[in-house]
Chain A
Amino acid sequence: MSDITKQSLSELVENIKSKKLSSSEVTKAFVERSEKSKELNAYITEDYANALNKAKKFDEKPKLDLKLPGIPMAVKDLFCTKDLRTTAGSKILNNFVPTYESTVTQNIWNEGAILMGKLNCDEFAMGSSNETSFFGNVQNPIDKNLVPGGSSGGSSSAVSAQLTPITIGTDTGGSIRQPASFTGTVGLKPTYGSCSRYGIVAFASSLDQAGPMAQNVKDCALLQEVISTYDEKDSTSIDFKRNAYSKELTKDIKGKKIGIPKEYRVDGMPKEIEDLWKKGIEYAKDCGAEIIDISLPHTNYALPTYYIVAPAEASSNLARYDGVKYGFRAEGENLTDMYEKTRSEGFGAEVQRRIMIGTYVLSSGYYDAYYLKAQKVRKLIKNDFDEAYKKVDAILTPSTPSSAFKIGEKTNDPVSMYLNDIFTVPVNLAGLPGISIPAGHDANGYPLGLQIIGKAFDEQNILNISYAMEEKINFKNNITDWWIK
């Protein structure tokens, strides 16, 4: 089969289970396509030889009752992978090879999937364009001049370009949903506590959450089913009853109440985003959902709140990269000098900026005015959602305030860059699940996404809504393989 890489995850699983395809054939196809796609710069570390070996071994003793039997997969380079370099997109971890495996990736390998390599991302997941990566920016398969979004830009690019059938990213303020939206793919940010953070390089502990990135909703549901487990090694992991998301997936969303928050009509929002949203409402209605206007009054404060909480936690989480134990070290005259040189040379500009912001907002004399106040506002934002969910089952918004922007367009304007997260950040602050599905194109033909936000632990519901709307939207990505010579 020459069109192996065009198949969805579900098709590949079906074909391997029915022995129409072997894991080796599938893995070889994705490895070959990945090798031809170096120009996208989606990978930081390739592990193709090992992947092909593992596929061969799988075929010798196939375990076809697994959920991801012999499926090759590349993952965001924020997940620690045993014996394979894990960089978090940073120079400071350039040489770091974990001796351990993250819980989320372990869950994936336990279901028979095979690691192909590590995907590019913004340094320590700090960015919305994948331009802060020490390993260079990633190109959007939609257009060579476009960013793929961030921070999971390598992941979105790889899924969209079909270098991997599916992948995982992490989402602290929109890092799964925004790149999914920019590349015409599906990305789910699960409820905080749904997926273990054990073994994921931390950015902001109270916001970070791993999630699936896929070509369609069904694939996304299947991977969510695999990665979401309760984990004692993560104290913030939550022990709740998890659905068999892919099996319970249904397009029947008749009577579901979907809220439209008026505060998401932000000033200066492009008309095409407004139009997309309107279209989304129509699609939802077509699926039998009931549309209800709601208010999330503290939405305006979400972005500033996020840019206090996330850098504060990051400034502390990144203190461990000090050149003492592992990773990059610059020699110095003494301990302090070594620290300064290591961290100045090892961290990029955006990471340094956020460490400084975080250090500032936690400093004595500023703590109450910034960090403490931000925590209070965070609570108000969560209360907004709690109130809304008394009336509705889910909330529909645009995923991003624009389509993918050009590489370099916002690099020197951090605030404009941060504004990209305006629709996604409140979801992280409230710890809720949110999914971005492709829903249309702008005038340039660039993809646009819609976001469906759910109640905590109600991933099944937003997957169902997405699944139903996906069929109505019938989105087609325009990928021309321009990068393959």
Chain B
Amino acid sequence: MSKNKSEYLINRHDNQYEVVIGLEVHAQVTSESKLFSTSATKFGAEPNTQVSLVDAAFPGMLPVINEYCVKQAIKTGIGLKAKINKRSVFDRKNYFYADLPQGYQISQFKDPIVGEGKVILDMPDGQKEVGIERLHLEQDAGKSIHDLDPKNTFVDLNRSGVALMEIVSKPDLRSPDEVNAYIKKLRSIMRYLGTCDGNMQEGSLRADVNVSVRKKGSKEFGTRCEIKNVNSIKFMQMAIEYEANRQVDLIEDGQIIDQETRLFDTKKNETRSMRSKEDAHDYRYFPDPDLLPLEVSDDFIDNLKSEIPELPDEKKKRFIEKFKLSPYEANILVSDIETSNYFENVIKKSDVKLSTNWIIGELFAALNEKNLEITESPISAGNLSKLINLIKDGTISGKIAKTVFEQMMEGDKDPKKIVEEKGLKQESDPKALEALIDKVIDDNRDKATEYKSGKFKLFGFFVGQVMKVSGGKANPQLVNEILKKKL
């Protein structure tokens, strides 16, 4: 038995297999223009409307590096705690395809712009470090559309030349859950940095998944298969699960695993062979003679370092230390920059503990129900802060607050106004409460007698009656105090 609860193992007969996973994540650089041309990069534009002569590889056209994309890649490298290479080289990866106008992709092969780094994952049983092998810049290809016409293929070059960062992890991942956590963390870091929007639906983040299996305890890696171009975390997890089991079955059957490239069929939930190692392309990489080696100075890198915002790991640490949040709470609040910004805006003027509970509890539940992101929240941070202050200073009870909150969700209204308009203000005047309580005791003489004779359970009944009569506005704490005296 494994001591490690979350250890992901595949059991076959008497054997236990460990799954080894490495990811090559393709993250689209957030940038107005392409890596080597000035064309726009907006998603969803009409086909072939964002294509320059360079992107379409017209004769005599030359690439010119977009400095902004270089900065974005370096910032990402800094966010991954990685080595920034002051000299990197763009290479040509040569292959023919209809949506690759140059007949080669400009990429970085031997000398990438970013070297080794790391990403920390928060798993249920503790932290895990995943190594980053490298990050390099490259061009995206265009898009071939095969289903518009039975005979012809259409090509949309809007994406041709868009800047991608390929982020290659070390084979440090061991389960679909870790892959989930890794992608989310990577996305979180890049969104904090503003270097990739991480939008998987729009293809801004996709991955090639390398999977191999080995008997538990073995030091040697098994033969890996690469599953190409998977574009959602769920599909990555499904693909890994299928692929790992396929490989285990082969081994148990005494067969050999071929190193090959595979495709994940999302409809059939299976991977299938695309090409074997023998059929692998010979990309004939060589340094692009149209581009000089990319050299950046220490100053250039230092300037970018000064632009790096507080990243999730550091923010989490600060939240725990400064605001005494639990690691669980901190994790949730830092997972994306918008949430943490929202949180910090709320607590500027409000109680931290109460704010944390309301954001993680009520707000997240309400947003979830409406399928909204935090940036789309109908309740602004400022108004949530006001609501929390109304609770804290006793103007309204927590229960009333929920009613107010529900109304705020319908439209960002000032909670004070809602309380005033609907007369929801908590009754905290002892004299008014005494009058109320006296009336309740009067109306329930028999129960009061029972209470006095020792049926103390009835205390709750009286509280309930008072609240009911007050329309829920009576200050519960004061009601308790006065009731105790009167009874």
Residue numbers of A with Cβ under 8 A of B are: 79-80, 86, 88, 93, 96, 98-100, 102, 197-202, 204-206, 232-236, 312-313, 315-316, 318-320, 322, 324-326, 335, 339, 359, 362-364, 367, 371
Closest to A208 in B: B289
A197 to B61, CA, bound (A): 9
B102 within 8 A of A: yes
Of A96, A200, A325, which one neighbours B101 at CB under 8 angstroms? A325
Of B60, B94, B98, which one neighbours A199 at CB under 8 angstroms? B60
Of B59, B153, B282, B289, which one neighbours A313 at CB under 8 angstroms? B289
A-B contact pairs, 23 of them (CB 8 A): A98-B58, A99-B53, A100-B53, A201-B59, A202-B59, A205-B290, A232-B64, A233-B62, A235-B64, A235-B65, A313-B289, A315-B94, A319-B104, A320-B101, A320-B102, A322-B96, A324-B98, A324-B101, A324-B155, A325-B56, A335-B97, A339-B96, A367-B285
Q: Please give, as numbers and ranges, the residues of chain B lying within 8 Å of A363 by CB-CB distance.
A: 282, 284
Q: Please give, as numbers and ranges, the residues of chain B lying within 8 Å of A197 by CB-CB distance.
A: 60, 62
B291 within 8 A of A: yes
Q: What 0/1 pattern do residues 69 to 96 of B give for CB contact below 8 A with A?
A: 0000000000000000000000010101
Closest to B94 in A: A316
A322 to B155, CA, bound (A): 14
Q: Which of B153-172 contact A (CB under 8 A)?
A: 153, 155
B57 within 8 A of A: yes
B309 within 8 A of A: no
B47 within 8 A of A: no
A402 to B11, CA, bound (A): 78
Q: B161: shortest Cβ distance to chain A, in Å?
A: 13
Q: Please give, as numbers and ranges, the residues of chain B lying within 8 Å of A312 by CB-CB distance.
A: 286
Q: B289, A204: Cβ atoms under 8 Å?
A: yes
Q: Please give, as numbers and ranges, the residues of chain A lying within 8 Å of B291 by CB-CB distance.
A: 235-236
A-B contact count (CB 8 A): 96
Q: B148: shortest Cβ distance to chain A, in Å?
A: 16
Of B153, B285, B290, which one neighbours A335 at CB under 8 angstroms? B153
Q: A47: shortest Cβ distance to chain B, in Å?
A: 19
Closest to A80 in B: B60
A311 to B153, CA, bound (A): 32
Most buried by A among B92, B101, B288, B289: B289
Q: Please give, as numbers and ranges, the residues of chain B lying within 8 Å of A206 by CB-CB distance.
A: 289
B394 within 8 A of A: no
Q: Please give, as numbers and ranges, the residues of chain A lying within 8 Å of B64 by CB-CB distance.
A: 232-235
With A313-B289, A363-B284, A367-B286 given, can you name 19 additional A-B contacts, CB distance below 8 Å? A79-B60, A197-B60, A198-B61, A202-B290, A205-B288, A206-B289, A236-B289, A236-B291, A316-B92, A316-B286, A319-B104, A320-B57, A320-B101, A325-B56, A325-B58, A359-B284, A362-B94, A362-B286, A367-B284
Q: Please give, as numbers and ranges, the residues of chain B lying within 8 Å of A99 by CB-CB distance.
A: 53
Q: Please give, as numbers and ranges, the residues of chain B lying within 8 Å of A79 by CB-CB distance.
A: 60
Residue numbers of B with Cβ under 8 A of A are: 53, 56-65, 92, 94, 96-98, 101-104, 153, 155, 282, 284-286, 288-292
Given A233-B64, A235-B64, A236-B292, A326 and B286 contact (CB-CB distance below 8 Å): no
A457 to B96, CA, bound (A): 38
Q: Please give, as numbers and ranges, the residues of chain A lying within 8 Å of B98 by CB-CB distance.
A: 324, 335
A62 to B285, CA, bound (A): 52
Q: Please give, as numbers and ranges, the residues of chain B lying within 8 Å of A235 by CB-CB distance.
A: 62-65, 290-292
Q: A326, B58: Cβ atoms under 8 Å?
A: yes
Q: Please give, as numbers and ranges, the residues of chain B lying within 8 Å of A315 by CB-CB distance.
A: 94, 284
Q: Which 6 A-B pairs have the closest CB atoms?
A: A319-B103, A205-B289, A362-B284, A206-B289, A199-B60, A320-B57
Most buried by B among A236, A316, A318: A316
Q: A198, B62: Cβ atoms under 8 Å?
A: yes
Most buried by B among A99, A232, A235, A339: A235
A362 to B104, CA, bound (A): 13
Q: Please give, as numbers and ranges, the residues of chain A lying within 8 Å of B56 by CB-CB distance.
A: 325
Q: A442: shortest Cβ distance to chain B, in Å?
A: 37
A236 to B65, CA, bound (A): 11
Q: A236, B290: Cβ atoms under 8 Å?
A: yes
Q: B126: shortest Cβ distance to chain A, in Å?
A: 43
